[in-house]
Amino acid sequence: MLSRRSLALLPLTLTAGRAAAIEPRAADWRFVHNGPEVPGDTRHEYHWRVLRAALEATQAKYGPFAIESSGFMNESRQLLDMQAARGSINALALAGSAALDKVLISVKVPVDKGLLGYRLFLIRAADQPAYAHVRTLDDLRRFRMGTQADWVDAAIYREAGFKLVTGSNYAALFNMLMAGRFDAFGRGVGEIEDELANFNPGHPGMAIEQSLLLHYPMAVYFWFRRDAEGMRYATRVREGMSAIATSGTLERLFKQEFQAVIQRLHLNARRVLRIGNPTQPLDQPLDKKDWWFDPSR
């Protein structure tokens, strides 16, 4: 999800490390994923590194592959495209939900170890003293939450009893926060620093709230079309994700990407407030404790 590029597919990575011709066998495994939404949007780059590792782990069995990025699409368009017979993308990295499980095929190995469910808040810096007094969910419910209308977070906040303000455009949400339309914009641990750096030049009064950590169960999974090709792609990725989760490769990639930011944001020292997630799928591998992030560990 990055700049408003042309909808022509832009090569991102190839197995052989070249953006030139795709090897004939690699054409049999051509993964075209959702692209960025705005300039500087890096939220999915880690996900595609994990996908590459999963495909490399299965290369001896299945052969070469290609990974490419689509042009600009918001989340609603991505889902429509994935369900279309001649859609331009065939792979997504999105938060798991029961609704998605009805229309797409999932690979239930958490790409981000469930880190996306740990939410910090972008706020107006002048409001920080008010958040220092939050001790309970009722205290937090005094603040208006903002999110995108088609994100699963909207249903989660509503179910938890928060006052919610929604927008239809990712970049506009940062403007809405600073214009006082809402008070707090919940962001994932792996997103919030890059987003602050990207949008702060236009909004110097924006800041990361310093004391709270909201948690609801949520994990990013890979998703594929509910057809024969989608099943074939999901089978390979499922084998690869299980392999890298077992070998420690997924843990290594996770630490490379997130360990420093987890420490900088002092997750283990924040007050953790927890809410449920009525949208989450039922068949998540919650019994595999090593597959999930826990700030207390």
Q: Is the pTM of this model over 0.95?
A: no
CA-to-CA distance for 194 and 199, rounded, in angstroms? 9
DSSP code per residue over 206-225: EEE-SSEEEE----EEEEEE
pLDDT at 59: 96
pLDDT at 8: 34
Strands 164-167 and 145-148, sheet pairing: parallel
pLDDT at 212: 98
> Domain residues of the chain, as ranges?
10-114+218-291, 117-215
pLDDT at 2: 36
pLDDT at 202: 86
Per residue in 207-224, pLDDT (tens digit) is 999 999 999 999 999 999
pLDDT along the chain (297 residues), means of 10: 34 37 66 78 87 98 94 83 89 93 96 96 97 96 96 94 95 96 95 91 94 96 95 98 97 96 95 95 91 90
* Residue 160 near residue 135, CB atoms below 8 Å: no
pLDDT at 13: 38
pLDDT at 76: 84
Measuring CA to CA, which residue among 145, 171, 205, 158 is closest to residue 43?
A: 171
CA dihedral (156, 47, 92, 55) in degrees, to 10, reads: -140
Helix 228-247 to helix 45-57 angle, to the nearest 10 degrees?
90
pLDDT at 26: 61
| Mean pLDDT of the residues in the chain | 89
Please state which of the four CATH numbers 3.40.50.80, 3.20.20.70, 3.40.190.10, 1.10.3720.10 is assigned to the domain occupying 10-114+218-291. Answer: 3.40.190.10
The CATH fold of domain 117-215: D-Maltodextrin-Binding Protein; domain 2 (3.40.190)
The CA-atom distances, in angstroms, between 190 and each of 113, 252, 278, 285, 291 are: 12, 15, 23, 22, 17
Identify the three-state secondary structure at position 145: strand
CA-to-CA distance for 26 and 29, rounded, in angstroms? 5
